[in-house]
Amino acid sequence: MKNIIILFSCIGRRVSLLKSFHAAAAQLKLRPHIIGTDITNLSAALQLCDKRHIVHHVGHADYPGQLADIVEKDRVDLLVPTTDLDLKLLAQNTDLFEQFGCRVLISRPDVIDICQDKRKTFQFLSQNAFDTPATMAPAEALAKRDMAFPCFLKPWDGHAGRGTAKVENRQELEMLARRIPNCIVQEFVDGVEFTCDVFVDFDMKVRCVVPRKRIEIRDGEVSKGQIAGHEAIMSQTQALVETLGAGPGVVTIQLILDAAENIKFIEINPRFGGGVPLSIKAGADFPKWILQQIVGEEPKIEFGNFKDGLIMLRYDDEVWIDPQ
């Protein structure tokens, strides 16, 4: 049996993702060795790893070097980021990891830049003719005589829905734009929100797009979701990821489908999203496809082959740390 050594950085609460890599390895008759990093031992997913590393905060100058040490000493085959925190650093330092034969599920630094600055995301989308809500600086919105309300405020570097507000009039806009750091103003889109999990293989080909409806959100992450194989969403999302050149790995695209069926893209996260267990359960076995390519097998992937309508309801679970 061949070993496969997988390192998850900033592993936090990604228990389900870890388990799906475990299951995929077992299916492929590989012996998985899972390594996790976090800044604290009080991390649920870390407890389920075969090996744990407590590392510096991502802002520390030694963080990339620490990860590279782990990759070298533990002979890591695959490095999987799980949060936005270290994407930029991993993208800038792929050579550090690849010199030891490790594959990294990360996009190019310029792609990460576009995704992590919502002003640049808007520019990219509009320059490439993808529909997206009009986006401007607060001063520009306030200077507009015909500014349409409601509008939506959010930080250009935000995450997990923090610091967002729907604004009904000019006074509210003026007040809230001052309170929200790095605020941008967006056309408010009323509609049904979707997230797409997009699989890009190691040859940078988009192989599968799975749209899921966001039914309920808790702390910025989906808590109830449903697979919805909407053809136009799938083809436009595929085109978007191809144009951006994101990947390899899973790229998470958020959009709102308005009443007139316009597909308004709002966010691109170039990593596994929190709701990805739903797509995996529906048959888009990203972990299996990734591991297959790592061991030199060609994964059989049918674009759009997943269980339509499948619903995921999430709940809290516990992990225990025994006293020493």
Ligand X SMILES: Nc1ncnc2c1ncn2[C@@H]1O[C@H](COP(=O)(O)OP(=O)(O)O)[C@@H](O)[C@H]1O
What does DSSP assign to residue 295?
T
189 contact choice in Mg ion, ligand X, none (CB below 5 to 8 Å, kind-dependent): ligand X
Minimal distance, residue 197 CB to ligand X, in Å: 15
Position 267 contacts Mg ion (CB under 5 A): yes
Position 158 contacts ligand X (CB under 6 A): yes
SS (H, E, C) 143-183: HCCCCCCCEEEEECCCCCCCCCEEECCHHHHHHHHHHCCCE
**Quick check: 210 and 237 in contact, CB under 8 A?**
no
Minimal distance, residue 192 CB to ligand X, in Å: 11
Position 66 contacts ligand X (CB under 6 A): no
Binding mask 209-248 for Mg ion (x = CB under 5 A): ----------------------------------------
155 CB burial (10 A radius; 0-12, 13-18, 19+): middle
Position 193 contacts ligand X (CB under 6 A): yes
Q: Which residues pair with 200 in a beta bridge?
A: 206, 249
Identity of the residue, 69 or 267, whose beta carbon is nearer to Mg ion in the bound complex: 267
> Three-class SS of residue 293?
helix
Residue numbers 296-315 binding Mg ion by CB under 5 A: none
How many of the chain's residues bind ligand X (CB under 6 A)? 18
Minimal distance, residue 183 CB to ligand X, in Å: 12
Sole window of 8-16, 109-117, 154-162, 176-184 interacting with ligand X (rule: CB under 6 A): 154-162
Position 197 contacts ligand X (CB under 6 A): no
What residue has token string 């607060």? 138
Position 159 contacts ligand X (CB under 6 A): yes
202 contact choice in Mg ion, ligand X, none (CB below 5 to 8 Å, kind-dependent): none
**Quick check: 177 and 255 in contact, CB under 8 A?**
no
CA 184/CA 297 separation, integer angstroms: 45
CA distances from 172 to 139, 140, 151, 312 (A): 14, 15, 10, 36
Applying CB under 5 A, which residues contact Mg ion? 254, 267
Applying CB under 6 A, which residues contact ligand X? 133, 152, 154, 158-162, 164, 186-189, 193, 220, 254, 266-267
